[in-house]
A and B are shown apart, each in its own frame.
Chain A
């Protein structure tokens, strides 16, 4: 594998007395889709929030194309080419679909041509958003909100995309749609770190995967291998 675009080394995160990440390490290669799976409270969202600068790790290193992100204020991370679609969608409910996308394009400043081009891409990825562009995001269905959350993250022209449980709470047919879109975004050249509880879907999509258990990487490897791994099948694929 070539030089990783995102390199996380021995990350420790604490919430007060809670040791949420206990030396987690992970890499994302350029052009890869890497899945991060694990049960509730394993620390998956914590890892993504640390990468984006929303929480500061106590120890460890986060390198994006070789440059450290640790200590960088959260609002400066996205400008480095890394977008994060957070858990629970977190669309700006009282803003319209278009305004949400405009906020996603914040780092493009006033560059209208780039913003318009990116908006076209998002609308062609999610035609539903085009139909609803003047609607308030809070009035969208859960699936539409997820599309908006992903579309909004894409507005910043990221090279790396962090997705936190995009399939959460969606009907199976929509989960399919979302995963298909993730594949399409990947084909367009974006490297993706995908956090999922839906381990089967995520492993089918990813090149490689990590299993996080109570703040530590318990397993990692090629997604195809983990899909048939005894421990993964038992714990995360619901098989005997």
Chain B
């Protein structure tokens, strides 16, 4: 029972990070019907930019305690938001009317560029955040089920960001316009909605959340390298598909399910098999519901 609870907890924790990254894929897909392959690498850059900021603070002679996240996390989010808008402007907008394949190739190109940049600037070795930024201790949740304080804070931050996004998308004018644009560009234009600016807004939010996830993942798992975008990011992408790509609650649900299944697979069967188990289950979900759990029921209208 406690073993189950511990695994569920781990699963929710990792799943909330998948979800945070999955949101970026799904929101861009929503407004552009484009798979933004570069999103995983922007997420990876979040981890590296955080690393740079933390090591700079150390180098300046200040011992970076957990408090440094208060300025550094929003800072990294802002830098990535700007990078996201730049990406949209340079790699996607010029190809907006070129059909579906050219933007996809452009996305792959951008992904490779971001990855190569990270490898060349930071090297191929694993990086670790200074241990002084972690919160000490852990919390006993029930019985022997425990969770590190850092983990708890990271998960709460992820959930908080997702709630903020939910409120934004459902309770504000601009958020509602984002949903309208993902349904129908032309009709949104007839309403006076500046569709290009709304799309740019999506490219602000997605990478900002991805960047935050990058830092939180680096903090929780200790070490990372330039392949983080492909390894972790790809799983987040799959989470978005399972939830129903284009659907925001779907991305959150998909992320959580992937995290929980993976964690249960690792706990009850074997850590070596966890990816296989997770992917088989996800394949089964997609066979039963090709549009994803919360996606459109019928095949996509192109």
Contact = CB atoms under 8 A, between A and B. Distances in A.
B179 A106 contact: no
A74 B188 CA distance: 9
Contacts of A92: 179-180, 183-184, 187
B241 to A, nearest CB: 19
Contacts of B184: 90, 92
Nearest to A155: B191
A50 interface: no
Nearest to B187: A90
Contact of B176 (A78, A83, A103, A152): A103
Interface residues of A, number: 28
A84 interface: yes
A110 B192 contact: no
B278 to A, nearest CB: 29
B176 to A, nearest CB: 5
Interface of B, secondary structure class, is: helix
Given A92-B184, A102-B173, A110-B173, A86 B179 contact: no
A52 interface: yes
A86 B176 contact: no
Contact of B190 (A86, A93, A99, A110): A86
B97 to A, nearest CB: 12
A29 B189 CA distance: 25
A52 B192 contact: no
Contact of B191 (A93, A94, A156): A156
B59 to A, nearest CB: 46
A79 B192 contact: yes
A92 B181 CA distance: 9
B186 A95 contact: no
Interface in B151-206: 173, 176-177, 179-180, 183-184, 186-195
Contact of B194 (A75, A77, A103, A153): A75
20 contacts: A53-B189, A54-B189, A73-B189, A75-B189, A75-B194, A75-B195, A78-B191, A86-B186, A86-B187, A92-B180, A95-B183, A103-B176, A103-B177, A103-B188, A103-B191, A106-B192, A106-B193, A110-B173, A152-B191, A156-B191
Interface of A: 52-54, 73-79, 83-84, 86, 90, 92-95, 99, 102-104, 106-107, 110, 152-153, 156
Given A75-B194, A102-B176, A103-B188, 15 more contacts: A52-B189, A53-B189, A73-B194, A75-B191, A78-B192, A84-B190, A86-B186, A90-B186, A92-B187, A94-B183, A103-B177, A103-B191, A103-B193, A106-B177, A107-B192
Question: Can you list the 3 inter-chain pairs with the closest CB atoms, starting with the nearest?
Answer: A74-B189, A107-B192, A78-B192
